[in-house]
C-alpha cells in the first residue's frame, strides 16, 4: 500500500496543501462508504467544490495526531484543481480495493507524514550581496518559486511570492501612511469589498502572473468608480496586459508595471542608490514579507530566509 501511495504521490504531485487536504479528508470520508466509491458522491451541489473539504474537517484529522498547525485556512476548498484531485484519489482507492491492497489506516498515516514534511519544508533563500543587481536577487526568488510550483500540484507559488513581496514593498514605501490589508494569495479580488489585491487612497493594485480579460474588466470597474488601477505582473504578462487594455481602449488609463522592476526600482530609491542602503532596505522588505506570510498563510516554506552570504 505504501509503495502504491508513493507512486501515486509522485505521479500526481500530491505535495501541496490543497492535494494534502483532499487526501486527508477523502481518506477519512471513505471509511463510511461501500466500495467501489462513486467520486460524484463527494461533490458539493455546485459541482465545483469537494463536499466537506473545509478547515474543520482537515484539522479534526490532524488533531488526532497532535498536529495543531493549520494546513489550509479554507481546508483546500478554494484550491484550484481540488475536484480533479479528489477524482484521481478516489479512483486510486477503488483500484487498491479491487487489488486487495487497500488499508485506510496506512493511507491516513502516510498522508499525515506528508503533512509533517510540508510543515518542515525549507523557506526560499536569498543572499543580499550589495554588489549583486537587485533585479537578479528578485529573479532568483521567482526562480525558486517556479521550481517548487512545477514539482507540486495545486498551489501557485510564483503568484503568492509576487503578491506578498509587492505588499511588503508597499509597507516600506508607504511608511504607515496607509493601513494596508493583506489577503491570502488563494483568494481572488472579486469580493465586493475589494477593488484589488491592495486598496489605498484612490489606487487599486492587481498582482498577477498572467493578466486576463477578467482582470481588465476589473480595471474598468475600478475606473468607473474613480479609482486608478495598476497591474503588476511579469515581463511577458506586462506585454499581454498592455495588449488586452489596448483592445478595450483603456491602455492610457491604467499603469502596467513589471514585477521585478517594481521591486528593484523601489528598493534602489529607498536605499538612496547606495549598495549598503539597498541591502538594508531589501532586508526591511523581507522582514515585512515574512510577517505577512505568517499572518495570512499556513505554508511556512513561503517565508524568505536571508543566506549566510549576505
pTM score: 0.74
Task: Judge contact between 82 and 95, C-beta under 8 A.
Answer: no
Task: Judge contact between 67 and 115, C-beta under 8 A.
Answer: yes
Quote the cell numbers at residue 83: 475536484
Q: 124-306: which CATH topology?
A: Trna Endonuclease; Chain: A, domain 1 (3.40.1350)
- For the cut 70, the answer to whether the pLDDT of residue 211 exceeds it is yes
| φ/ψ of residue 176, rounded to 5 | 80, 5
pLDDT grade for 249, boundaries at 50, 70 and 90: very high
Mean pLDDT of the chain: 89
Q: How far is CA 259 from CA 81, 165, 220, 282, in A?
A: 26, 9, 21, 15
Residue 49 CB contacts under 8 Å (≥ 6 apart), including other chains: 43, 77, 82, 83
- For the cut 80, the answer to whether the pLDDT of residue 76 exceeds it is no
Least confident of 6-10, 46-50, 261-265: 46-50
Quote the cell numbers at residue 87: 477524482
Domain residues of the chain, as ranges?
2-119, 124-306
pLDDT of residue 262: 97
Q: Please give the average per-residue pLDDT across 79-102, as a whole number.
A: 90
Task: Judge contact between 230 and 257, C-beta under 8 A.
Answer: yes
- For the cut 90, the answer to whether the pLDDT of residue 283 exceeds it is yes
pLDDT of residue 101: 93
Q: Please give the average per-residue pLDDT across 266-281, as a whole number.
A: 91
Amino acid at each position: 500500500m505504501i509503495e502504491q501511495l508513493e507512486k501515486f504521490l509522485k505521479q500526481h504531485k500530491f505535495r501541496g496543501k490543497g492535494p494534502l487536504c483532499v487526501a486527508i479528508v477523502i481518506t477519512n470520508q471513505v471509511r463510511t462508504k461501500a466500495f467501489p466509491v462513486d467520486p460524484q458522491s463527494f461533490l458539493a451541489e455546485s459541482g465545483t467544490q469537494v463536499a466537506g473539504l473545509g478547515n474543520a474537517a482537515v484539522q479534526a484529522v490532524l488533531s488526532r495526531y497532535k498536529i495543531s498547525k493549520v494546513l489550509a485556512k479554507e481546508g483546500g476548498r478554494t484550491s484550484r484543481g481540488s475536484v480533479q484531485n479528489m477524482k484521481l484519489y478516489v479512483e486510486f482507492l477503488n483500484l487498491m480495493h479491487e487489488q486487495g491492497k487497500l488499508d485506510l489506516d496506512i493511507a491516513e498515516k502516510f498522508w499525515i507524514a506528508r503533512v509533517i514534511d510540508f510543515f518542515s519544508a525549507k523557506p526560499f533563500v536569498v543572499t543580499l550581496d550589495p554588489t549583486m543587481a537587485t533585479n537578479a536577487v528578485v529573479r532568483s526568488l521567482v526562480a525558486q518559486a517556479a521550481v517548487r510550483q512545477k514539482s507540486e500540484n495545486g498551489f501557485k507559488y510564483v503568484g503568492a511570492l509576487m503578491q506578498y513581496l509587492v505588499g511588503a514593498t508597499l509597507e516600506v514605501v508607504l511608511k504607515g501612511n496607509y493601513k494596508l490589508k493583506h489577503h491570502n494569495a488563494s483568494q481572488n479580488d472579486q469580493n465586493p469589498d475589494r477593488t484589488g489585491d491592495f486598496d489605498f487612497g484612490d489606487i487599486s493594485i492587481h498582482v498577477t502572473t498572467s493578466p486576463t480579460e477578467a482582470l481588465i474588466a476589473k480595471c474598468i470597474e475600478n475606473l468607473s468608480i474613480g479609482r486608478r488601477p495598476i497591474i503588476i505582473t511579469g515581463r511577458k504578462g506586462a506585454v499581454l496586459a498592455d495588449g488586452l487594455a489596448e483592445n478595450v481602449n483603456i491602455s492610457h488609463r491604467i499603469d502596467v508595471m513589471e514585477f521585478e522592476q517594481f521591486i528593484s526600482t523601489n528598493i534602489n530609491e529607498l536605499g538612496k542608490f547606495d549598495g549598503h542602503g539597498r541591502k538594508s532596505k531589501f532586508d526591511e522588505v523581507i522582514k515585512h514579507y515574512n510577517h505577512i506570510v505568517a499572518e495570512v498563510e499556513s505554508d511556512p516554506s513561503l517565508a524568505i530566509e536571508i543566506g549566510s552570504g549576505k
